[in-house]
Structures are given as structure tokens and as C-alpha cells.
Structure 1
Amino acid sequence: MTIRPAELDDIKQIQLVRNSVTENTLSNPNLVTDEDCVEFITKRGKGWICEIDNEIIGFSIVDLTDKNFWALFLRPEFEKQGIGRKLHDIMLDWYFEQRQTNIWLGTSPKTRAEKFYQKAGWTKICTHGKGEIKFEMTYENWKKHC
């Protein structure tokens, strides 16, 4: 298993992972385009991928512009193995090296993701969008939690 920064050549496999999930699915897979991924990986923030035998099985992307944890997804068969937590921690470490401002994310309620983020030290602050839970992580809380 290797975790490394995402590259443009990874986008096709990132999209496959994103569309393989069984929770927090996209109502329309075309809502997140390859161009969106390019924008987030090269201009707005940074991404990481986890690969096994040259196949991407998970990824995370952070958005410095909107101070948003934009994506963290794994292929379902690789869940509950600590991979998501590794991608999460690498991303937050990098984000807080860049800036010490709060970061937020949104996820569907009553999902494994909701429990994952609570366990990782995120604080629920409100709901937003289409009923998603909005979580926040402060620099101070991250330093205490990790």
C-alpha cells in the first residue's frame, strides 16, 4: 500500500473510486467532473491517493480556497482497514501546515462517515445544503487530537 500526492494522471481512477461508494453517493455522477478534480488538485488545494498494486483504492482532496475538506473516499471493499484515517490525517497535517484557520466538511447524516468524523475529532456545527451535516476542525483541536 502506498499513499502519495495525487497527480493529473490519477483522475480517471479517482472518479472510479468516487462513483464506487455506497454512502454519500452523487445523485448525478456528472456533478463532479474531471475538470473539477484538476482545479482542486492543481490550483485550489492538494490531493492524495492510496494505491495497491498500481490501482487507486482511495483518495482525499483538500480545498485551501474555501477551507474545505473536499473529498475522502475509499472503494467499499477497503473500508474499515485504517486507510481512510491515514488519508484523513495526511490531508489535515498538510492543510494546517499551510494555514491555521478552521476547515469544514459536509457529509450525509446517519452514515459511517458521520461517525468517522466525530471519532476523528470534528465538531458538528450545523446542517447545510441538502440536509448535510457540517463539521468543523480547528487547528487547536487537531493538534490536541493527533
Structure 2
Amino acid sequence: MALHFRKTQSNDVSALFAVRGKTRDNPISKQQLAQMGITHAAVVEGLESGELYGWVCVNQDSVVGFCTGDMATGEVLALAVLPGFEGQGVGKRLLGNVVDQLQSNGANPVWLAADSNARVRAHGFYRRLGWLPTGDVLENGDEILALHAT
């Protein structure tokens, strides 16, 4: 299996929505994302303006994972990998690429919101990579984790 990593392009956006709807622990459909104000047009605009920055992992011309960050706030907005590509370092590499750019842009700390349920894979994943809870919790119960520049 040949995996290729590259910066997210505007023509990847439909694939990002497809991947996000097929994740194992927290799938979110295109319709649910639209209700949150996350639309195809908004993501394309964010990527083209430089407000959003992301990386994708491609296998045989199909996006199998992605990570996107907000350049203004330092927030990692999404990290999603298809179940068949979990456990291969895809998420770690995508996240690392986006974090590096956010930090290069001056974000400190870089942060994200994640499920606080220890049974969800993301809970342990982020902690193993050095992300720490800030003590803040969103209305939906997600906790805020931060990765401070070293």
C-alpha cells in the first residue's frame, strides 16, 4: 500500500467530507457539518484564503485521511482517518504536519477539542503525543487539549 502525503487542495474538499462521515468513533455527515456551518464552500474559501491549512493522505488517488487547522486561532479543527488505514501512522503524520505549520505561524499553544471519553480512541491518541487537557470543556462535553511549543 503506497501512501502519499501532501497539502490539502481545494479539489480535495468533497473527499474530506466523505472521510469525515466514515470515521470509526465519531463520524459526522455532510448534513451534520452543514448544520454547524461547515460547508463545502466555506472549506474551499478557507483553504484558498489561507485561513485554513491542511494535509491529506492519499492511497491510489483516494483521500484516506486528513487534518485541518485554523491559522488564526491555532486550533486543529479536524483529524480523520478511514478505519482501514488506522494504526499505520497516518493520523500522527497528518497531525504533525499541520501542527508544525500552526506553530511556524506563531500559534502557541496549538489546541484542539476532543471527546473526553477514555474509551474513544482519540482520547489516548492525543495524550500519547503529548497533548494535555487545559481544564476547559465545551458545551458538547469535548475537552480542550493543548500542545505547547517546546
Q: Which residue of 1 aligns with 2:17?
A: 15
Q: CA deviation at 1:74?
A: 0.5
- Mapped to 1, the partners of 2:107 and 2:53 lie a distance apart of 16
Give per-residue Cα distances to partners, 1:22-72, cap 9 Å, x unaligned: 222337243331123224323313111000111100001010122200111
SS at the partner of 1:67? coil
Of Structure 1 and Structure 2, the greater helix share is in 1
Is the contact made by 2:73 and 2:107 (CA closer than 8 Å) also made in structure 1?
Answer: no
Gaps in structure 1 of 5+ consecutive residues? 141-146
Aligned to 2:132: 123
User: Pick from 74, 81, 84: which aligns with 1:77?
Assistant: 84
Show the counterpart of 2:34: 30
Equivalence for 1:143:
none
Cα root mean square deviation, aligned: 1.5
CA change 1:113–1:15 in 2 (3 A) is same
- Please give the TM-score of this superposition, normalised by the length of structure 1: 0.88
* Structure 2 residue ranges without an equivalent (≥5): none
Partners of 2:113 and 2:107 in 1: how far apart? Answer: 20
User: Aligned pairs, how many?
Assistant: 140
In 2, distance between residues paired with 1:129 and 1:38? 27
Residues 86-105 of structure 1 aligned to structure 2 (within 5 Å): 86-105=93-112
TM-score (norm. length: structure 2): 0.86
Percent same amino acid at aligned positions? 24
- Within the candidate set 32, 38, 48, 1:42 is matched to 48
Secondary structure at 2:56's aligned position in 1? strand
User: Within 2, Cα distance between the matches of 1:100 and 1:107?
Assistant: 19
Q: Distance in 1 between matches of 2:43 and 2:28?
A: 15
